Amino acid sequence: MAVDGPGPSARLAAGVIVPSQFTVRLIVEKSNQNKNKISPQETAFNELMDSSFEMAKKLLPFLARRRIPLIPENYHLFYDYLLGTNPELIRQINETLQRETLFTTEVSRKLYGVFYDVDSENFRAMARVGERIGSISQSIEENLSQSLESTDRFKQALNDSASQIEQGDLEVTDFRDIVDGLLTETKSALNSQTALAELIEASNKVIATLTAELQDKTRQANVDELTQLYNRRYMSQRFKELTEGDVGRFMPIHLAIFDLDRFKVINDTWGHAIGDKVLIITSKIIQNFAGDRHLACRYGGEEFLIIYSGVDGDEAARLTEGVRRKVEETQITIRGQVVPITLSAGLSSFVVGDDEQSLIGRADKALYQAKAAGRNMVRIWRADD
């Protein structure tokens, strides 16, 4: 890859800003200083923005070192790349960085189209984030150039004054003129440096806020809007990560699929608003049993999944039964009438050679057995079934 050359900025194409490493360093150093000056009233904001500062401090230097244009697509691509949650994206970016001598906008947009929907609202939101980041970077670059020019004029004024003094035979008025000139250039240099420092200080919070917005948009892309569980796309991605290489050989993995019993009757009888409430209540129960260790997602409609990792089959069965029992115990009362909620579940265990569909297929067969046996129960798939 190409390396940074001299100068405060570099442009790969008209309107595309590539932040210099010097500019990025100023932003990072200033952010470190300012984080210690935040007032007590801003403590909550600081805690929320910490992760955003950290990601910005990784992302901006990364882009600068590789002369990667600061456009929305690259900000999103390399945010996810450094986040490390998408192995296939990481692989393709690594191959592209090794293959391409310059990461042009054409290269990045082609790669972006492989992983993201450019017509989605998430992309449009990401574009707005990238445009604002680019505008901030450009403003800093312009102010940095002005500051350097002012510093150069000050140095030149010093040299000129020294030459005049060395020549001798100067009148008092000549010395006054020299001092006045130096004072003028000193004020100009100080004003430029102050303006640059103030711009960097103001940019810190903006960049952290935008990065937090990007984190939120990334989370939204992975989460089901109604239930706030992970969606099917993210589940598929995480399944690949859990079962890649030797991971699945040494870490036990189990999958439970849940299906609300007679959910259509609930919708038809009480309406979709109550049906949505049932889905939300069920999803919260499932998430509570999954906790932070296991992955819960909405698979589609009234179906949910939990991928258990690092526990044995007995523990996976206990948690699955716990979900079933808790849902059964939960009551929703509508106009004095209790709406019964139950679900059935099927559980299967990962074996070497499984893919997502084969593992889910076995759990689905066990779920069918639970439905056929009368519903509101858990069935575990056995090899002899």
- SS3 letters for the chain? CCCCCCCCEEEEECCEEEECHHHHHHHHHHHHHHHCCCCHHHHHHHHHHHHHHHHHHHHHHHHHHCCCCCCHHHHHHHHHHHHCCCHHHHHHHHHHHHHCCCCCHHHHHHHHHHHCCCCCHHHHHHHHHHHHHHHHHHHHHHHHHHHHHHHHHHHHHHHHHHHHHHHCCCCHHHHHHHHHHHHHHHHHHHHHHHHHHHHHHHHHHHHHHHHHHHHHHHHHHHECCCCCCECHHHHHHHHHHHHCCCHHHHCCEEEEEEEECCHHHHHHHHCHHHHHHHHHHHHHHHHHHHCCCCEEEEEECCEEEEEEECCCHHHHHHHHHHHHHHHHHCCEEECCEEECCCEEEEEEECCCCCCHHHHHHHHHHHHHHHHHCCCCCEEECCCCC
Average pLDDT over residues 100-125: 73
In this model, does residue 231 exceed pLDDT 90? yes
- Res. 243: pLDDT tops 70: yes
Mean pLDDT of all residues in 313-328 = 97
Task: Give yes or no: 302 in active site.
Answer: yes
Sequence spans of domains, the chain: 1-222, 232-380
Task: Give the pLDDT band (50/70/90) at residue 287.
Answer: very high
* The pLDDT of residue 368: 97
More confident residue, 231 or 206: 231
Rounded to an integer, the average pLDDT of 204-223 is: 69
In this predicted model, which residue has the larger pLDDT, 148 or 334? 334
Report the pLDDT averaged over residues 213-236: 83
- Provide the pLDDT for residue 27: 47
Tell me the two tokens of residue 75. 């900000």
pLDDT over threshold 50, residue 267:
yes
227 contacts: CB under 8 Å, gap ≥ 6: 279, 280, 283, 298
Task: Note whether 320 and 298 are within 8 A (CB).
Answer: no
C-alpha to C-alpha distance for 363 and 383, rounded to whole angstroms: 12
Residue count of the chain: 385
Q: For residue 75, what pLDDT is reported?
A: 76
pLDDT band at 19 (very low <50, low <70, confident <90, very high): very low
pTM of the entire predicted model: 0.53
Q: Which residue has the higher pLDDT, 72 or 280?
A: 280
20, two tokens:
């210099």
Average pLDDT along the chain? 75
pLDDT recorded at residue 142: 64
pLDDT of 3 higher than 50: no
CA-closest candidate to residue 362, choices 373, 375, 377, 351: 351
Q: What is the pLDDT of residue 43?
A: 45
C-alpha distance from residue 362 to each of 72, 148, 347 (Å): 42, 67, 8
Q: Does residue 333 or residue 142 have the better pLDDT?
A: 333
Question: Which residue in 302, 315, 321, 356 is the catalytic one?
Answer: 302
CATH class of 232-380: alpha beta
CB 103 within 8 A of CB 96: yes
